[in-house]
Amino acid sequence: MYEDYTSQALPSKSYRELLGSAICVFNSNNAFIIENILKNDNKSQYNWYNLTDRISGCLKSPIREIIIKTSENSIANLFDSICEKRNRIIHSFQITDTDGEQRLATKNKNNTQYVITEGFLKDFIQENEQLSTELHRFRGY
């Protein structure tokens, strides 16, 4: 698919919509993680400026220090899993898939390549919904 703002081939509008939604829900949860860390940081060891400058994977330490101390590991484990999937999306490469459509593909740490399908993106969005629900519960909403 082509758009008037680029001559490069692009995935379908629906695929790009899912991709954009996936990035947005992840970013929302990343900010919500930071909000929860700050709300529960009784020693004031963290601040918003430093936490927002960290890449998502570097939030693991404050998550473990602050959130896990007052909650179970499910938030940390789910965030770790989501971060890995988000990394695969962000560090992907564009391909022409077997059906002739443009999509993103990536590889796992064992160098197995796979296509980031619409199903993968929908599952990622759903996992972020689950994380958001757990973060709301942790926050006390």
What are the boundaries of each domain within the chain? 23-139
pLDDT cut 70: percent of the chain above it: 99
121-126 average pLDDT score: 98
15-35 average pLDDT score: 97
d(CA 116, CA 112): 13
pLDDT in tens, 37-92: 999 999 999 999 999 999 998 998 899 888 887 777 889 999 999 999 999 999 99
**Quick one: which H or E segment has residue 53?**
helix 48-53
Strand boundaries in 1-141, DSSP class E: 93-96, 102-107, 113-116
pLDDT for the residue 1? 65
DSSP 56-96: GGGGHHHIIIIIHHHS-THHHHHHHHHHHHHHHHHT-EEEE
